[in-house]
Structure 1
Amino acid sequence: MSSLEVQRHNQTVLKSLEQGDQVEFVRGLYSHWAVYVGDNEVVHLSGDDGARGSDMGHSFTISGVEFGKATVRRDNFWDVVGDSEVHKNNSKDEKLQHFKPSEIVRRALSKIGEVGYNLIFKNCEHFASWCRYNKEQSDQADGLLTGLAVGGTLVAAFGIAAWLKSGQKKDREKRSEY
């Protein structure tokens, strides 16, 4: 989509939002998540370097110790959207029971100023999900973990295969010495 088409799309999405809706800002390799609280405003867990929801810049943790941080903040929708394409995304409603809109908004506003971030356990999607469903869930983080597990398994399998092959080659070389 051209930037004008994205802007029109985002305007249409904004008009359709109701209090308590989860808002997904597609950033390319990842999405940033927020809760719509009304009056063109969202509450989100955002990197401290600006409203645009750059939480991925603060993902470095070792054993839960955070390096960099993010803060729950209330920002204007347009300040967060930047050049991202936006979607109303309450898809977890299919599996999870959600609060009434006023309760979702109350929960989101109650966390403003809270600091903390972890890519796998405490990201912006976890926050938005907690506000709406009382369950910190991130499909993105789960997908990342699955990808890492599959990738690690493949690396291990190829490593074992290479090790076995090199062992067979050494056995053949030893037999040929006699």
Structure 2
Amino acid sequence: MAKGDQIYVMRDLAGVPGLYQHHGIDCGDGTVIHYSKARDIAEIARTSYDAFSWNNPVYTVRKSLIYDPDVVVERAISRLGERQYDLLLNNCEHFANWCTTGRSESRQLANFGLRTDQLNLPELRRLAEGDRYTTTPAEACANFQKALGDIATAYNTTLADQQTAYKAADEWHHVAEKALAIGREDLARAALHRRVAANKRIETLTTQLSELVELELNLRHNRAFAERRLALE
């Protein structure tokens, strides 16, 4: 890892370890610029490497850079103090990608189907961010319920895919063991290659599940608020 690298660490969510990627920009001096949630309001801040990693392994995002390292860091510095975190449009990955490529995008969202060009963004963003006053309490509750239903469907589908991938990884592991037992190293290598592919699939699906969980938590929080408003009417 070096100055200007886009880096990420797997973070815990809702007590489940390693569920989602938290992205930042390596400044090359032991500090990282990222969307920090150390305070009540998420803010782009320059923190120590340890504060970013939480003592977890840190990985580099492998891709072709449009900007050189100095420019990447300058772009990150230009947004220090920003408090405009948005899960759908301006999360930590959006920020880091903007610094390195100029494109504000989040592959984690796109990977499980939350493509911003296919969503009713004003509606879903309002629900997720907590702008709960633009509709009546009854309408808000109905909107939250529908959104949660959509998320539940996506979560169950993704979870089933993840479980299938786990099963495949385990099966290929046993195939490799049996192949080695009969002296077929060629078959063992092929089986292990399939196992690696299954493990990569597991990692991708786990990231997708984490994003769904975060979005669901935000929506449930705001639905509870709307229900309290409805009870007061």
TM-score (norm 2): 0.45
- Matches of 1:33 and 1:127, distance apart in 2: 8
1:33-77 deviation digits (Å, cap 9, x = unpaired): 00001111110012143xxxxxxxxxxxxxxxxxx6311100111
In structure 1, stretches of 5+ residues that fail to align are 1-16, 50-67, 156-178
Residue type matched to 1:18 in 2?
A
- Matches of 1:146 and 1:113, distance apart in 2: 27
Instruction: State the secondary structure of the residue aligned to 1:142.
Output: helix
- Matches of 2:48 and 2:112, distance apart in 1: 29
- Matches of 1:46 and 1:107, distance apart in 2: 17
Identify which of 11, 14, 19 aligns with 2:3.
19
Residue type matched to 2:34 in 1?
H
Q: Quick check: 2:43–2:81 contact (8 Å CA) kept in 1? A: yes
Structure with the bigger percentage of helix: 2
The alpha-carbon deviation at position 142 of structure 1 amounts to 1.4
Q: Does 1:105 align with 2:73?
A: yes
Identify which of 41, 44, 52 aligns with 2:31.
41
Q: Does 1:74 align with 2:46?
A: yes
Q: Quick check: 2:3–2:29 contact (8 Å CA) kept in 1? A: no
Instruction: State the secondary structure of the residue aligned to 2:32.
Output: strand
Higher relative contact order (CA 8 A, sep 6+): 1
Q: Quick check: 2:41–2:83 contact (8 Å CA) kept in 1? A: yes
Instruction: State the secondary structure of the residue aligned to 2:19.
Output: coil
- Matches of 2:112 and 2:83, distance apart in 1: 23
Aligned length: 116
The alpha-carbon deviation at position 141 of structure 1 amounts to 1.5
Aligned match of 2:20 = 30
Residue type matched to 1:32 in 2?
H
TM-score (norm 1): 0.58
1:102-144 deviation digits (Å, cap 9, x = unpaired): 1101000111001111111110000000000000111112124
- Matches of 2:38 and 2:51, distance apart in 1: 14
The alpha-carbon deviation at position 151 of structure 1 amounts to 3.3
The alpha-carbon deviation at position 83 of structure 1 amounts to 3.1
In structure 2, stretches of 5+ residues that fail to align are 12-17, 116-149, 158-233
Aligned match of 2:103 = 135
Could you say what the CA RMSD is over the residues aligned between the two structures, in angstroms? 2.5
- Matches of 1:144 and 1:119, distance apart in 2: 14
The alpha-carbon deviation at position 150 of structure 1 amounts to 10
- Matches of 1:104 and 1:132, distance apart in 2: 5
Aligned match of 2:61 = 89
The alpha-carbon deviation at position 145 of structure 1 amounts to 3.4
Residue type matched to 2:96 in 1?
A
